[in-house]
Amino acid sequence: MKITDVEVIHCRTMNQGRRAGTRWGYGVWLDAEETEGTAAITRISTDEGITGHMLGGNKATMEGPIKQLLVGENPLNREKLWHWMDQMSTFGHSLTEHELGVVDCALWDLVGQKAGLPVYQLLGGTREKIEAYASTYPNLGGPEVYVELAQDCVKRGYKAFKVHANICWDPHIPGPAPQLPGFPKEDVEICRAVREAVGDDIVLMLDPFGVYTLEESLWVARELEKLNYYWLEHPMVETRVEAYRRLTQETRIAICSPEHIKGGPFARAEWLLQGACNMLRVDMSYGGITGCWKVINLCQLYGVQCELHGVGAPHVHLAAATPEATCRYYERGLLRAELDYEVPPPHLHRITDPIDDEGYVHVSQNPGLGIEYNWDYIDDNRI
């Protein structure tokens, strides 16, 4: 089998509650009105007529250096191709880690189509459903807004809930603010209100997204310990590895990081070696399924957890291939009251992470990643 083509398909779609960027980062979020947007799908074709697909992809990159690299190669040699692309990404040769991840996921989808098996079974397979936690939008308002959302999520079956509080956002204006300084006291007020509202049986986490100093992180960690929060995620800018090492050493709550540091599995192995976290964090944007699988196995060998960051079919399959002792949860969101998360965008027939009324996401049993593209819609709205 040989790769014959790599292309990116663009189509018009609708985005509900799309994020509005600001000069500071996360900034403010739009209302629930639908806005027109563009969806990208990367397709890898072969001489046997078998194709692999993945959501996302930069057209110039995929149809330029990636196509030159992959055409003529055997798509089943994913490890070889992964190392080639990792070298391109490391040395800055027109390839980002995220684009590497998109290509790698498309290759895994392709081999699943070839084998007639879902990706999680190709990886080994351990479970068909994964407990999900509800992951909130940031900057929703005061404690009462988070309490209402948390109570609603519990009613819908979630047994775990993660707070994104004031991220690049001044709650006193309210309005966008620089990443630093953060608002740790206001964030803890939200966390305390949520704990009081949902009781002690619901697992809770906080993700400040790097808006605290070391001193603030230490204070927040100790307050969360009193509230029996499960983990504190990404509290500081992640280039401060020594600060993370001190935070991890001086607190009892699990520190879950790094989330967005470059270097894929290699950088995360170094964090583990330095003792800069209790739980590692990774997603397909830092090495694809292949890169995530390396981190997951590293964590399993050392007896620490690897909690996958973000949503999407690759993460469902990775979690389903991994014991709960290594990857306990699937992150589902970002959620807020006005957003109907269960409705798929028009270019998909169904969402990639359907959930039952007990809070479990079920992995697709279809070959490959199991993403159900609405090709009739995509072809009719192709750009």
What's the pLDDT score for residue 92?
67
Strand segments, DSSP code E, in 301-374 are 305-308, 330-335, 360-362
45, containing H or E segment = strand 34-46
CB 9, CB 40: distance < 8 Å: yes
The answer to whether 91 and 346 are in contact (CB under 8 A) is no
Half-sphere exposure for 249 (CA within 13 Å, toward CB): 10
- Other Cβ atoms closer than 10 A to 155: 9
Which domains are delineated in the chain?
3-117+374-380 (3.30.390.10), 122-362 (3.20.20.120)
Task: Give the residue among 144, 131, 159 at the shortest CA–CA distance from 197.
Answer: 144
Please, what is the average pLDDT of the chain? 94
Strands 169-170 and 175-176: antiparallel
Q: So what's the pLDDT on residue 36?
A: 84
Q: What is the pTM of this model?
A: 0.95
Segments in the chain below pLDDT 70:
16-34, 92-93
Q: Are strands 231-233 and 254-256 parallel, antiparallel or unpaired?
A: parallel
Phi, psi of 89 (to 5 degrees): -70, -45
pLDDT tens per residue, range 107-155: 999 999 999 999 999 999 999 999 999 999 999 999 999 999 999 999 9
Half-sphere exposure of 319 (CA within 13 A, CB side): 31
193: amino acid identity, one letter: A
Q: What is the pLDDT of residue 63?
A: 96
Residue 20 has what pLDDT?
A: 41
Closest CA relative to residue 321, chosen from 84, 117, 177: 117
**Tokens matching residue 20:** 């509005």
Q: Which helix (H) or strand (E) holds 302?
A: helix 288-302
